[in-house]
Structure 1
């Protein structure tokens, strides 16, 4: 059975995701789509040149939505990174652009007959994931945002650096919006066989500072090179491969939570059928309040995008 991935948006993130897919042999067919024809054709040629020195072969196609009809997963990396260069580091700065471009792409995805899973990177990711689901009409559990999968990785890296261990030895989650209202749910974090609250007390860790480092990690990278790409592209490809391999993995991704009435990041079991089981964490009262604040903010911003959504249905 042919494994096929589509990537829409070949900026810094989309290109990094495409290279990861090709270098690791995650797909037999890869469809690249971008409004800039010269750019997407150049990326495709560059990737084909790379294949001669790789142990895997990938067939690469460009700017043909009809090729997405039988894709397993589409990764959305549409964006305008220049809008992120704003004084408040607000991920919603891209919304006036993405809420127009994404419904157009979603409409073409729907018209192609696509019936697979969509993995959304495009910011603001929770709102954009909602838009993709509504315009395509796909089941909610088949449209998933990378959400705080990357924020959680940043938190784990920050904790690990303080303890001089591998970040994969830290377990726990950042929840809510992939943006300024996201937060580290310290009640979920364990390290060295204990809750982090115990380790923090013994080792003198400042959890407020670690939460801050996780929240601003993306901004730190952005201000250094005016874009981010490796961390989020890796998150997206991991999520896509988790779906395609039916890995049944617990991940903090943006998925639709009925109790909040919106997409937001919360751990779920992900496999071939997308979000296959939603977890229910024992959060503290403070964490629950923060999660509700995130949910309310996402819903407000989604409502502001209503006109652009309706015009593309």
Structure 2
């Protein structure tokens, strides 16, 4: 009803249906936001705190979607993101390229915000990725990060910038927001919209989203080309061994929790 109350002041009409899964038959995209965010906090915050209850909700929703004729792209923002994305793919039986998690698209944006502030530039002048789990085992792949096309590792050395502190601030960014207002919404919803528009517009743009990587045997965040049919092409970064080790650790961490 709150959405319907807004419609008279909006420039376009929107049809709103509640719990009618048959309306999904001709949908292009479904965005899954089911979750139990209150369970991620505490003294040792971790998105896996909501694994079991959110997993039950995802199982229920996925089985209902399975009974429809939906054949579009599944976009997942539910947490723990990589595990929930994998669960949707397994239950729905869709090709892996048609089930995508927002993953570290949000964390990469947080990194760009933090780096942009450190160098007093717009975050859009920062490029690079956070990789792995959308969660505690993620990391900033500093070898990929540039500020106005200058390698950040070179700039950090010249300016004395502590990259490890930025990495930690980014990794814990969601929990910082959560501690402040009890939930997160703007950052992740913007990431979901960006991913969805890339699909709807067949943008064929590279995004660090949660997609299934055969070499790791799990969904995790790694840049891929996204378009109308979902993941169109998986990219291959030239990462140093230290970052490859971090990515393997993150993949193993996701797998360990996926098998619980």
CA distance in 2, matches of 1:73, 1:239: 10
Whether the 8 Å contact between 1:172 and 1:186 is mirrored in structure 2 is: yes
How much is the aligned-residue C-alpha RMSD, in angstroms? 0.9
SS of equivalent residue, structure 1 residue 130: helix
Aligned residue pairs, count: 260
In the TM superposition, residue 85 of structure 1 has moved relative to its aligned partner by 2.2
Q: List per-residue Cα deviations over 1:102-146 (Å, max 9, x = no partner).
A: 111101101112111011011100001000000001110000000
Say if 2:238 is the partner of 1:238: no
Whether the 8 Å contact between 1:91 and 1:124 is mirrored in structure 2 is: yes
Q: List per-residue Cα deviations over 1:204-241 (Å, max 9, x = no partner).
A: 21111111111111111010111111111111121111
Match of 1:179 among 135, 150, 155: 135
Say if 2:8 is the partner of 1:52: yes
Whether the 8 Å contact between 1:85 and 1:226 is mirrored in structure 2 is: no
Say if 2:215 is the partner of 1:259: yes
Say if 2:239 is the partner of 1:294: no
Tell me what 1:199 maps to.
Answer: 155
SS of equivalent residue, structure 1 residue 294: helix
Structure 2 alignment gaps of length 5 or more: none
Structure 1 alignment gaps of length 5 or more: 1-44, 305-313
Structure 2 length-normalised TM: 0.98
Which is further off, 52-61 or 106-115? 52-61
Whether the 8 Å contact between 2:29 and 2:74 is mirrored in structure 1 is: yes
CA distance in 2, matches of 1:193, 1:125: 31
CA distance in 2, matches of 1:297, 1:286: 17
In the TM superposition, residue 58 of structure 1 has moved relative to its aligned partner by 1.5
CA distance in 2, matches of 1:171, 1:125: 23
CA distance in 1, matches of 2:148, 2:25: 46
Tell me what 1:153 maps to.
Answer: 109
Tell me what 1:219 maps to.
Answer: 175
In the TM superposition, residue 86 of structure 1 has moved relative to its aligned partner by 2.1
Whether the 8 Å contact between 2:82 and 2:220 is mirrored in structure 1 is: yes
SS of equivalent residue, structure 2 residue 130: strand
Match of 2:83 among 124, 127, 135: 127
Tell me what 1:283 maps to.
Answer: 239
SS of equivalent residue, structure 2 residue 237: coil
Whether the 8 Å contact between 2:41 and 2:175 is mirrored in structure 1 is: no
